[in-house]
Amino acid sequence: LRRVREAVVSTQSTGITRNCQDELDKQLDPHVSGVLLGLINENKRILEVTHCFPLMNSDTDESMEINREHMLEMERSLRSVNIDYQQVGFYQSTYLNTHCDRNFLDSVFDYLEEMNEAIAIIYDPLKTKLGHLSLRAFKLSGRAFQLYKAEKDFTAEMLRDNAITFENLFQEIPVVVKNSSLTNVLLCELDSVQDSTSYFTLPTSSYLEKSMQLLLGGLDEINQDLLKISKFQKAVYKKQTEMMKYIQDRKEENDRMVREGLKPLPEEDVNELFKDPAPVGRLESLLSANRISSHCEMIEEHVKSGIGKLYLADSFMS
């Protein structure tokens, strides 16, 4: 199994950010997605993303169809101009790391099924606007991939046996951004003209508030899941007691029959009489846990710098 060590994204030609930003400006829907093209350097175990093109939001069958045609068309055109046309994954914009849902998982899985090395690049426009370019590459971890291939929803046992947690459900692949020399020069120039006072501005609270709200939403989901589990537990317990009672009754009845010289009732399969309650699917809660953890990370990251500044200011004032 070949493993991709890192993904090198060359900004010059791909322009993921540009694509996303354009799309986001154009439409209200914060979700933008597209196909990544590139090549795999097997020796260095590097996935190079060299080009990309956007797709429509594929909610309906119709737009799916259009997307598919569009992809074929693009592939043909790219081949004719001798550009890498190998699909290596997809990119997607996110709003405060809310991307991690069932759809995302399905897409990642689909790409991985086609190609072992496929990745998904998540672009956060909000963060980028705040001054931190945010490009993260993900793929399903190997175990999760195998598991998901076998079963579309996870039970608790499956998670346990494969040791899958919310943390290792997805595997993050380091991204190296490779700029053209000209861009590097520009960046250096920009660096020198940067206003040094802007360093002291505190992180905005609206961003924090939104993150907190999302966190709260995630917690609600977890709570609901907990309720489901406890309901399931109750059902199991109930079934268990009923089964015991049934066995007990049957035993007594049989004893009595034997005493009276009658033929005892046949031992029936108790498991058939009492059905197991349906176990609670774990996938959704796995995903929401994943989201929660990314929200936490986000908040932490966002606040970290601020705290430092506050301490700094505090010591100056006193």
Partner 1 sequence: PVPWVPLGKQWYQRRVRAGDSSDESSSSESEPEMPVSRAPVRQYTSILEESDDEKRVVRSSKDKRFSEINQTIKAIRNAKNIKDISKVREGYDSLCTIYTKSSNVIAKNGTPKAFIRCVADLETFVLTLWEDREQKSKLNKINSKALSALKQNVRKFNKGFEAEIEEYRKNPDSYEEVIDEEESADEDEAEKTRDAAKATKKTRTSSSRAFDDDDDDNDDDDDDDDDDMRGPGMGDDESDDSDEMWDDSEDSSSSDDEMPAIGYTAAYFLKKKDDDKKDKPERKKKAPKQQARTSTSKEEEEGWTTVSGVEKVAKEKPLFEEGTEITVDVVNQKIAELSSIRGRRGANRKKNIETFELLTETCQKENLGTPVVAKCLYFTCLAIFDYNPSMSACMQVDIWVQLLVTLDKLLTLLEGHREVHFVEGLPDEEENLENEEKPLTVAGSILVIMERTDDEFTKLLRNLDPHGTEYVQRLSDEAKLCLLILRVKAELATRKASNAEMCRIYLRQIEHLYYKVDYAAAGVNEEGKVDSREKMDELCKFIYRIESSDHSGDLDRIRTRAMLCHIYHHALHNRWSEARDLMLMSHLQHGISHADIPTKILYNRTTVQLGLCAFRNGYIQHAHTTLNDIQSSQKSKELLAQGLSTQRMSERNPEQEKIEKQRQIPFHMHINLELLEYSYLTCAMLLEVPHMAAHQFEQRRKLSRTFHQQLRNADKNPLIGPPDSMREHLVASAKAMMKADWRTCADTLLAHKIWNLMPNAEEVKGMLRQKIKEESLRTYMFTYSACYDSISPEVLSRMFDLSNKQIHALISKMILNDELKASWDKPTDLLILHRAESSKLQRLAKQTADKLTYVMDNTEKMLGQGTTFTGRGNAATGLTWPNNIFGAGNGTQLMGFPMGVPGQEQRYGSAQNAGYIARNRGNYNNQGGYNRQPYSRMVY
Tell which one of 76, 160, 245, 256 touches partner 1 (CB under 8 A): 160
Select 15 or 281, whichever has its Cβ closest to partner 1: 281
Residues 270-309: x where in contact with partner 1 by CB under 8 A, - otherwise, as a string: -x----xx-x--x--xx-xx--xx--x--xx--xx-xx--
**Inter-residue contact 31 to 57 (CB < 8 Å):** yes
| 239 touches partner 1 (CB under 8 A) | yes
From the CB of residue 261, how many other CB atoms can be counted at a distance below 10 Å? 6
Sheet with 33-41, side-by-side order of all strands: 170-173, 135-140, 119-123, 87-93, 33-41, 46-55, 6-10, 175-178
3-state class percentages of the chain: helix first, strand second, coil last, to nearest 5: 55, 15, 25
Tell which one of 133, 187, 227, 262 touches partner 1 (CB under 8 A): 227
Touching partner 1, residues 167-226 (CB under 8 A): 167, 202, 205, 208-209, 212-213, 215-216, 219-220, 222-223, 225-226
Select 236 or 258, whichever has its Cβ closest to partner 1: 236
Touching partner 1, residues 42-71 (CB under 8 A): none
Q: Where are the beta strands (DSSP E) in the chain?
A: 6-10, 33-41, 46-55, 87-93, 119-123, 135-140, 170-173, 175-178
Among 75, 104, 105, 78, smallest CA distance to 92 is for 104
Tell which one of 233, 249, 253, 267 touches partner 1 (CB under 8 A): 233
Task: Give me the least distance between CB of 94 and partner 1, in Å please.
Answer: 19
149 token code pair: 């291939």
DSSP string, 102-151: HHHHHHHHHHHHH-TT-EEEEE-HHHHHTT---EEEEEE-HHHHHHHHH-
| 237 touches partner 1 (CB under 8 A) | yes
Query: How far is the C-alpha of 149 from the C-alpha of 238, rounded, in Å?
Result: 33
Residues 130-159: x where in contact with partner 1 by CB under 8 A, - otherwise, as a string: -------------------------xxx-x
Task: Give me the least distance between CB of 235 and partner 1, in Å please.
Answer: 9
| 102 touches partner 1 (CB under 8 A) | no
Q: Maximum distance among all alpha carbons in the chain? A: 104
Residues near partner 1 (CB under 8 A) are 155-157, 159-160, 163, 165-167, 202, 205, 208-209, 212-213, 215-216, 219-220, 222-223, 225-227, 229-230, 233, 236-237, 239-240, 243, 271, 276-277, 279, 282, 285-286, 288-289, 292-293, 296, 299-300, 303-304, 306-307, 310, 314
